[in-house]
Amino acid sequence: MACEQETAAILRGAGQRVTPQRLLVAAVLRHAGRHLSAAEIAREVRARYPVVDVSTIYRTVEMLKGLHLATATDMGGDDLLFEWSAGEAHHHLICSRCRAMQVLDRDYLDGLAERVGRDFGFQADVHHFAIFGVCRDCREGAGA
Amino acid sequence: MACEQETAAILRGAGQRVTPQRLLVAAVLRHAGRHLSAAEIAREVRARYPVVDVSTIYRTVEMLKGLHLATATDMGGDDLLFEWSAGEAHHHLICSRCRAMQVLDRDYLDGLAERVGRDFGFQADVHHFAIFGVCRDCREGAGA
DNA sequence: GTTGGTGCAAATGATTTGCAAAAGG
DNA sequence: CCTTTTGCAAATCATTTGCACCAAC
């Protein structure tokens, strides 16, 4: 509710129109607290608003991305996953074997960004990284 | 030629059959010295071997990946890009605006991998990273 | 009123898959 | 021979797009 007001204000301020679909997509992402696929967002949104097409989800998320309100990440699955991007930047360690995922604090990559910026003038977007590998459990469990 | 012998030996050692298609895909990747899409690999291979289907390319690259001879990376384009993975690990800085790409030395990420391994027991695969952002030229050229 | 957003349905396009024929060991 | 690989063609499936209609402003 308060959230919706805030989202509306941001959209309006960016010269974007405020529609119920957009507010709902934003609200769903904001309160999910996790990564959602386009299909999942659609399901959640439809629970509160009858007919919303997936294409609208994609178009809306694309716009939210432009406003830096959402991020899209390939987490190794079949589809892109979207997430509300307010709050602290963070990263993910994703196990290639068991798919387990754990959050990695932003400071693990801040140094890299600084160094790359200093050395190459490259402004790295290290807001949301997916790092693949093998987790502790899988390493201890399986042989290798 | 010498390369083909070596590739054949590796395949055989892994219990994989040696076929001209596989040797060619490996050779193309090895000598490309850059990232290739499945379609590009197909084109190169067909230049030397008449009829090779894209599905064979995909199946072969998948197998090479399993043997750690090739890597697949999403570089932000429409399709996956494959690369021969022998030689020094390296990473890429990819400009989201102009698509320019520059190589980043492996040591930029080695520290991260060590730290993650120490702190979480997570064996990060930082063999081939794609870091997106804005390059110096685009930052100086355009306003932001 | 204008402009931009939405739903629908159809297109896109890379990757995958079933299967019979062909090749590897 | 027996098994794996291949080419072909068809299927998948997430994402995109054209378009007529409707909603913001």
The predicted structure's pLDDT at residue B142: 64
Q: Does the distance separating the beta carbons of A115 and B108 come in below 8 Å?
A: yes
Q: Does the distance separating the beta carbons of B115 and A133 come in below 8 Å?
A: no
Look at the pTM and tell me if it is higher than 0.75: yes
Is residue A26's beta carbon less than 7 angstroms from any atom in nucleic acid strand C? no
The predicted structure's pLDDT at residue B82: 96
Inter-chain CB pairs, A–B, below 8 Å: 82
**Does pLDDT of B44 surpass 80?**
yes
The predicted structure's pLDDT at residue A1: 56
In tens, the pLDDT along B86-114 reads 777 788 999 988 888 889 999 999 999 99
Q: How far apart are CA B88 and CA B86, in angstroms?
A: 7
User: Tokens 């204000």, residue?
Assistant: A9
Q: Is the CB of residue A43 less than 8 Å from the CB of residue A56? A: no
Q: How far apart are CA A9 and CA A20, in angstroms?
A: 13
Q: Which CATH number fits domain B89-144: 3.40.50.1370, 2.40.50.140, 3.30.420.40, 3.30.1490.190?
A: 3.30.1490.190
Q: How far apart are CA B141 and CA A119, in angstroms?
A: 18
**Does pLDDT of A60 surpass 90?**
yes
The predicted structure's pLDDT at residue B144: 45
Confidence of residue B65 (pLDDT cuts 50, 70, 90): very high
Q: CA at A21, C1' at C10: how many angstroms apart?
A: 23
Q: Is the CB of residue B8 less than 8 Å from the CB of residue B16? A: no
Q: Does the distance separating the beta carbons of B116 and A122 come in below 8 Å?
A: no
In tens, the pLDDT along A71-119 reads 999 888 889 999 998 777 789 999 988 888 899 999 999 999 999 999 9
Q: CA at B55, C1' at D11: how many angstroms apart?
A: 14
Q: How far apart are CA B24 and CA B46, in angstroms?
A: 9
The predicted structure's pLDDT at residue B78: 87
In strand D, which positions have an atom below 7 A from any protein CB? 4-10, 13-18, 23-25
The predicted structure's pLDDT at residue A144: 45
Q: Is the CB of residue A131 less than 8 Å from the CB of residue B126? A: yes
Minimal-distance CA residue of chain B relative to A96:
B125
State how beta strands B130-134 and B123-124 pair. unpaired
Q: Please report, for chain A, the start and end positions of each structural domain, with discontinuous segments joined by +.
A: 1-87, 89-144
Q: CA at B55, C1' at D12: how many angstroms apart?
A: 14
Which of A80, A106, A123, A125 to mutate to probe the B interface, most B CBs <10 Å?
Answer: A123
In tens, the pLDDT along A3-53 reads 889 999 999 999 999 999 999 999 999 999 889 999 999 999 999 998 999
Q: Does the distance separating the beta carbons of B122 and A134 come in below 8 Å?
A: yes
Q: How far apart are CA B63 and CA B86, in angstroms?
A: 15
CATH number of A1-87: 1.10.10.10
Q: How far apart are CA A139 and CA A137, in angstroms?
A: 5
State how beta strands A36-37 and A81-84 pair. antiparallel
CA pseudo-torsion sign B89, A105, A37, B134:
negative
In B26-140, where do the E strands start and end? Answer: 36-37, 70-73, 81-84, 90-95, 101-105, 123-124, 130-134
Question: B114: distance to nearest CA of chain A, Å?
Answer: 11
